[in-house]
Chains A and B, each alone.
Chain A
């Protein structure tokens, strides 16, 4: 505990890096998953292919994936971000697609009857109604990305895992505790926050 308090600035820097890497990966993954998910909602075939490919990527063990990318992109942050994007695609695409498919056909018909174009229908009806399910996907993806970032410290991506690996190699338990517990706290806090957003959106949708 005293090591943690004396080195709080060190932990804060690692935490900042951790959040920055995780957010970058999440933003890129979402930018890919949103259009793919929309397409998958409309076509069973796109859905099948996207789920097959993304599901395969998701199954690859974290450290093996980071290692397999080394011959292609080397060590460091790029490698980590590519791996995290690959890991988050499956849940994001699935939730965008199921969210949109869950919109009642009556609502879609009514919107069409009011003369909405396909774009208006997507932006003003389908995506807002699918928002709680999409946020549920973001929540799982955020937790995944935070978890992968811990491991990515081994390939020099930075973040809280750096404290853990330093602690392991110097046999310095307080460093391990500080890195690991901060990472756990971050994951639980982000999960809880997004759960709250998810519930708010679901309620707004009903009311």
Chain B
């Protein structure tokens, strides 16, 4: 019954729903791309410098413990409300899992393999491209998967600072105790998170070299 009402609400407001879904996906995807563009190079750079790696791991571990809503809320007095401040906060939230997994992936590689490659005359660049990167990739993808789920979930909270997205239906639905409207936000965003989890899981298996994992 509630689901039927939710469906009626959805079909009565197709443009509004489409716009919210588009904003939600754009916000999540952009945050993930920005965080990836920063965290993967930073992780590769830090991997072979133990001092930098130590600092990066500690910073990322603290970043990972911070509550998502607290980070979004802290950005608001500084940058105001809307899409851009939300994107900034979500990008920050996506950094720690990608950075930690890039470091873990790069540092878990057997030193003997790297030694053997060096002995075969490979340059550091060649070792990175042909040995370290492919071996670290499954672990990096596990980090991307965690970050994607976190960002999709965090983008729901962006509604509180005017970021738009599917969270708008949920907050309005809760404020007015209108269950159908609330479901129109909650069910699609749940499916979005589950879909992303599945997709990144599949990608992770794809990039795992044969004989590993």
Known: A59-B149, A168-B160, A176-B76. A64 touches B170 (CB 8 A): yes
Residues of A within 8 A of B157 (CB): 62-63, 151
A168-B170 contact given A61-B153, A188-B66, CB 8 Å threshold = no
Q: Which residues of A contact B186 (CB under 8 A)?
A: 63-65, 67-68
Q: What interface size band does chain A fall in?
A: 35 or more
Tell me if A61 and B156 are in contact (CB < 8 A): yes
Q: Identify the closest chain A residue to B2 (Cβ).
A: A71
Q: What are the residues of chain B within 8 A of A165 when measuring CB–CB?
A: 160
From A26-34, A44-52, A92-100, A179-187, the one touching the partner chain is A179-187
- Measured in the bound complex, the distance between the Cα atoms of B177 and A180 in whole Å is 26
- One digit per residue, 1 when the CB lies within 8 angstroms of any chain B CB and 0 when it does not, for chain A 146-161 equals 1100110011000001
Indicate if A128 sits at the interface (CB-CB under 8 A).
Answer: no
Q: Point out which of B156, B159, B171 has the most chain A C-beta atoms below 10 A from its C-beta.
A: B156
How many of chain B's residues have a CB under 8 angstroms from any CB in A?
A: 40
Q: Which residue of A lies closest to B175 (CB)?
A: A154
Mark out the residues of chain A between 154 and 207 whose CB falls within 8 Å of any chain B CB in the assembled complex: 154-155, 161, 164-165, 167-168, 173, 176-177, 179-181, 183-184, 187-188, 191
User: How far is A155 from B67 in the complex, measured between Cα atoms in Å?
Assistant: 17
A188→B190 CA distance, assembly (Å): 28
Decide if the interface of chain A is mainly helix, strand, loop or mixed. Answer: helix
**With a CB–CB cut-off of 8 A, which chain A residues contact B70?**
147, 150, 164, 179-181, 183-184
Q: Which residues of B contact A (CB under 8 A)?
A: 2, 61-62, 64-71, 73-74, 76-77, 149, 152-153, 156-157, 159-161, 167, 170-171, 173-174, 177, 179, 182-183, 185-187, 189-190, 193-194, 197
